[in-house]
A and B are shown apart, each in its own frame.
Chain A
Amino acid sequence: MPQLPIYLDHAATTPVRPEVLEALLPYFSAKFGNASSTHRWGREARAATDAARERIAACLGANADEICLTSGGTEADNLAVLGGWRVQQANGRPGIVSTPIEHKAVLESVHQAKREGGDERLVGIDAVGTVNLDSARQHIRGDVALVSVMWVNNETGVIQPVAELAAIAREAGAIFHTDAVQAFGKLDVDAKQIPFDFLSVSGHKFGAPKSIGAVFVRRGTPLAPLFFGGSQDRGRRPGTENTPMAVALATAMELALKERDAEVARLRALRDRLEGALVAAVPGLVVHGRDAPRVPHILHFSVPNADSESLLMALDLAGVAASSGSACQSGSVTPSHVLSAMGLPPELGASAVRLSVGKLSTEEQMDRVAQLFPGVVQSARAMGGRF
């Protein structure tokens, strides 16, 4: 009998947790009201939405009025980057600083700001995968409206020096945004500890459904809306509030926080076990971000003389769900912009695989993957054909 497939793509998305599903379901049925309505159905939805907002805020060390709910991480990043930059640009600050390793949701928003007249500056990346702080200091000057640097890189799992960057930005009078999509639930994300102005999270990375996210907007930080309509969410994000998803996000965040320390230790042990076994099994395998601080759930590496596409195909046929870290809509794999920013040669950039552990992962699975991986590499290399 074939063995069950192994899901090692938790950085892409996670299963909805049963507790989360249970919490949100009433708001899909009996408690279906519009939180803006004045009648009893409306009041019921309002109470749940406001409570969810408070619970989300508490998970981020924030106040409820600092939480803006969005349709997910991409909208959160767009709103923060463009919403912050547009206001500040009108005040004579055209500069926008980011990095070449951001998620496309940030990078494309930064490019959009450039098309609107922004002065785009991308900070240099060190070979280990972290933002170069000297380069950041050179770029973050008095004419900069907004700085956006991700907390954790989604491909390599490398943790960025956001506390230092937030301080540099603050000194220059710029808004500091951080995409914390891969950080929340793994690192201490606390608005009281680190002076970020905007922060994005995405629910489906930690057990909430897809299409719910949030932006933390520090009190007093200007933000222009992307959408126009009613006065929901203080006008920052008009549109009927998504009560079930707000409840889901709040529940998932609380669970993630409650379990964080134990889960981080468990995932780190699993990841390290897998990493050690793969390094031992495949000569020349290059682990990315190994010399930088990394989140515990991501293992990103390149296999010499095998391309990502073939590796992923062979892995999937062997029952292992993985990713290269960057996938395009047509399903074909493109070389990693993150690895090329780190200065890796293109052939290594085109041979990357990301394995990310999470709720579904077990020690037995790590051992099975380590065992089948040499065969996968052999398969992938054969697929290269007449190169």
Chain B
Amino acid sequence: MARVLVAMSGGVDSSVAAALLVRQGYDVVGVTMKLFEDGAELPDRPCCSLDATSDARRVAEQLGIPHYVLNMIDHFGRDVIADFVAEYTRGRTPIPCVRCNTFTKFSDLVAKADGIDAQYVATGHYARAVAGELHRGADDNKDQTYFLWGINRDVVKRLLLPVGEMTKTETRALARELQLPRVADKAESQEICFVPDGDYVQILRRELGDDAPALSPGRIVTTTGDVVGEHEGYARYTIGQRRGLPGGSADPMYVVALRPETREVVVGPREALLGTRLSASGVNWLVDTPPRVGDEVQVRIRHRAPLAPAVVEAITGGAVSVTLHAPVSAITPGQSAVLYDGTRVLGGGFID
């Protein structure tokens, strides 16, 4: 039977994925990726901690499959964490899960699969690989294709995503049925795995130092150029944010832009967040025939945001521009724009 390398985080989704593959008769090899040093500051992480690794190992032992811990700290630090920090210094809001999938899970890990002659690579993602193309997962609330657009197309042909056909509720029920009670009721891992308590500024301070420009005081200005206050570092802000802004104006103010070159945080009324045009670079297509100018597509601009109908305006080199049929709020540089045709993922890029 064909061999499959399954990435096991110790959580319910990848545990059930591994169990299903065993049940389907594959020669399953489980691995847990160690992506960063989990010091004392991350005691109860749902993934990547020593506890999570132990859970993965116990599930693997229960399933009767071999399991290994792969130290990928160097590559993850270089490809994901360093970029995460650099994006904030550029006044953008990064999305590290995309780069982790592109570089770590579906590149470095695929090399491991090649090494052990595993034809397939499996994860617990809510997405579907059908006939060499990537489709949204059956559970609309859990769909994770927003994070998967950057992976190598050749890898899609080798992907097995067993829980992509199920809803989260079904996955949890199946975990109980498969006698995996340890993981069945585990909490969701929502946050960025290497950011403790959602406090990404802590990571920036560690990597950049407290006196880095991105963390130094600057002016808060309106779109018309009035100075309305001071901030403690533009990297603490993201487009659409209200928290941390001075009050006192008649209408609530939102961050509408970041200007790293002058360290300015630009604020404006809610309407200033609305936009219909976006362009994305670093584009990766996951289909044989990418869309052409004038094609109708659906676009997602952040995880779990509704799909927005749009038309393709321009495609040049690694960039794509689209116009949305209705305005959306807070199109945020650094986040992903993912293009869909129904459930099919056409491709995506990073918003500029």
Contacts and interface: CB of A to CB of B under 8 A. Distances in A.
Interface string B313-348: 000000000000000000000000000000000000
Contacts of B116: 313-314, 317, 379, 383
A331 B53 contact: yes
Contacts of A309: 68, 70-71
Contact of B50 (A314, A330, A382): A330
A300 B110 CA distance: 29
Contacts of A316: 66, 68
Contact of A317 (B29, B70, B71): B29
A379 B115 CA distance: 4
Most buried by A among B29, B71, B114: B71
Contact of A331 (B29, B68, B108, B110): B68
B167 interface: no
A330 B70 contact: no
Nearest to B49: A330
Contacts of A310: 112, 115
B266 to A, nearest CB: 39
A314 B115 contact: yes
Interface string B1-38: 00000000000000000000000000001000010000
Contact of A330 (B69, B107, B108, B110): B69
Nearest to B71: A332
B66 A380 contact: no
B117 interface: yes
A384 B34 contact: no
Interface in B50-82: 50, 53, 57, 66, 68-71
Contacts of A383: 111-112, 114-116
A173 B34 CA distance: 47
A332 B68 CA distance: 8
A333 B115 contact: no
How many chain B residues sit at the interface, stated as a range, is 10 to 19
A330 B29 CA distance: 18
Contact of B115 (A331, A382, A386): A382
B2 to A, nearest CB: 14
B213 to A, nearest CB: 32
B276 to A, nearest CB: 39
A385 interface: yes
A216 B189 CA distance: 51
A331 B29 CA distance: 15
Contacts of A382: 111, 114-115
Nearest to A335: B71
A386 B108 contact: yes
A23 to B, nearest CB: 31
B107 A385 contact: yes
B107 A386 contact: yes
Given A309-B70, A310-B112, A386-B108, A330 B117 contact: no
Contacts of B114: 382-383, 385
Given A329-B50, A331-B57, A385 B68 contact: no
B34 A380 contact: no
A233 B111 CA distance: 56
Contact of B108 (A317, A334, A385): A385
B111 A384 contact: yes
B66 A317 contact: yes
A333 B68 CA distance: 10
B69 A332 contact: yes
Best-buried of B57, B68, B69, B115 by chain A (most CB within 10 Å): B115
Could you say which of B34, B69, B117 has the most chain A C-beta atoms within 10 Å of its C-beta?
B69
Most buried by B among A316, A317, A330, A381: A330
Nearest to A378: B115
Contacts of B34: 330, 332
A380 B53 CA distance: 22
Nearest to A381: B115
A309 B69 CA distance: 8
Nearest to B74: A387
Interface string B122-136: 000000000000000
Interface of B: 29, 34, 50, 53, 57, 66, 68-71, 107-108, 110-112, 114-117
Given A313-B68, A332-B70, A385-B111, 6 more contacts: A329-B50, A330-B34, A330-B69, A331-B68, A379-B116, A383-B114
Interface of A: 309-310, 312-314, 316-317, 329-334, 379-386
28 contacts: A309-B70, A309-B71, A310-B112, A310-B115, A313-B112, A313-B116, A314-B116, A316-B68, A317-B29, A317-B66, A330-B34, A330-B53, A331-B57, A331-B69, A332-B71, A333-B71, A334-B71, A380-B115, A382-B111, A383-B111, A383-B115, A383-B116, A384-B115, A385-B107, A385-B110, A385-B111, A385-B112, A385-B114
What 5 A-B pairs have minimum CB-CB distances, sorted nearest first? A385-B111, A383-B115, A382-B115, A331-B69, A332-B71
